[in-house]
A and B are shown apart, each in its own frame.
Chain A
Amino acid sequence: MSIESSDPPALVAALRHGLGAATTSVPLGASDVGDVSNLAGYDSLFGFLSVAILDGAILVEDDDVRADLLQRWHKNLLTCVVLEALIVRTAVILDDAVVTWRLTKGAALAHLDYADPAVRTFGDVDVVIHPDHWTTALDVLRDSGYTRSNEGIGSDYDRRYGKGATLTTVDGLELDLHRRFAIGRFGVTSRMAEVFEPSDTIVLADRSIPVLAPTYRLLHACYHASLGGSRFLRALRDVAQLILVTQVDWEETFAVARRWQAEAVVASAIIESWQRLSLDFAHPAHVRATNTPISRADQRSLQVFRTNDSFRAQALTAVGAIPLTEVPRYLWSFASHRLKSAR
């Protein structure tokens, strides 16, 4: 599997800093500052960048540039506390309605997988909702003033095959509710009820918040890295962080992925993480990933997610992964969903 990349060297250095890889200081030259700042802004990377600068892994000669990057990190940190307040308010609503749910991605990883949560900043809140409680969760959140910002409410496709819904608060904060980790080929074969069986917790503002267990945090990170659309470095750092620093039982993650017919997703995420972050040391998880046979159908699907961000193209990768008898229903519900969305 070949992955071409043109990531700025200073950004790669920032994202590999703290992973145990041998490092030499990388200068952030004046000609790269614009690109690095833009990418860091889009992917919420100022924590990684600032810590690498403060630790001397990235050299910035211009004091104004250094001050600007640190200031942008501070803005990211302010956003994080605002979002954590949203998590606590959301927890009250979901727990009162006896909804089974787990926090995932940004805030969960920041607190459980990074030594200092300030390094791993985030721009929205992600929670996974138990499939049996999906409708209840949507109802109680809507009753509390959250509005759904994407289409498909109530469609058969949404219920049976959808990835989830993005809700927005009155002050513009985003809450992503996940029913699956992806649409398409690797989403329809998932068994989401499994992810609620074990659990971690974090405490925010004296409230216990349920979080995906390590095996599933890594699995979700791999789904995001391989199928999340934009090929940004933070998702790859999360995969490497969970394997190298948290030391998640990645073999268990592969075992779950095998049951979900999604080994290609995990293997692809690990291979791309090692490649794009220039992790040039051997690790058994990387060896396992490179030795994972990936079928041509899986390769084609991964490629669709890598190069084509159209919902239609990604959703149609499911045909071939679902039983033949279910294909007509899938296509019908997909077409109905598209018609409903177009209205």
Chain B
Amino acid sequence: MKWSRAKSVLWRTAPGYLALMTPDGAPSEIHGPGAEVWSLLEQSVETETLVDAIASRYSADRDVVAGDVRRLLEQLHTDGYVDRIE
């Protein structure tokens, strides 16, 4: 499954931080590696590619990272910040 940023999203990033909003929504903040996931979403990208990149970046257990990344993507999708490309 691939993901990409929704066209209607507004955002700002800083190291370890991400602020998000849609024009008629409420703002959201994400602290930690989620900001890096966002930077990788500049192009449409496979879930597994995101998991590999974050696990490698933090030298973390891939299974743990996979769960965190999937939960984050689902939340971003629910809030209208990312599109799911089947």
Contact = CB atoms under 8 A, between A and B. Distances in A.
A188 to B, nearest CB: 37
Given A85-B22, A89-B23, A205-B22, A74 B17 contact: yes
A85 B21 contact: yes
A14 to B, nearest CB: 15
B7 A205 contact: yes
A118 B10 contact: no
Contact of B14 (A77, A82, A204, A206): A77
B20 interface: yes
A216 interface: no
A240 interface: no
Interface string A209-250: 000000000000000000000000000000000000000000
Contacts, number: 56
Contacts of B13: 77, 118
Interface string B1-27: 000000111111111010111111101
Chain A, interface size category, equals 20 to 34
Contacts of A81: 10-12, 19-21, 27
A272 to B, nearest CB: 29
Contacts of A117: 12
B14 A78 contact: no
Nearest to A117: B12
A77 B12 contact: yes
B8 A118 contact: no
Contacts of B22: 85, 205
Interface in A44-96: 50, 54, 70, 73-74, 77-78, 80-82, 84-85, 88-89
A252 B56 CA distance: 50
Interface of B: 7-15, 17, 19-25, 27, 29
Interface of A: 50, 54, 70, 73-74, 77-78, 80-82, 84-85, 88-89, 117-118, 204-207
8 contacts: A74-B14, A74-B19, A77-B19, A78-B27, A82-B27, A117-B12, A204-B10, A205-B8
Given A74-B17, A74-B29, A80-B12, 5 more contacts: A85-B10, A85-B21, A88-B10, A205-B9, A205-B23
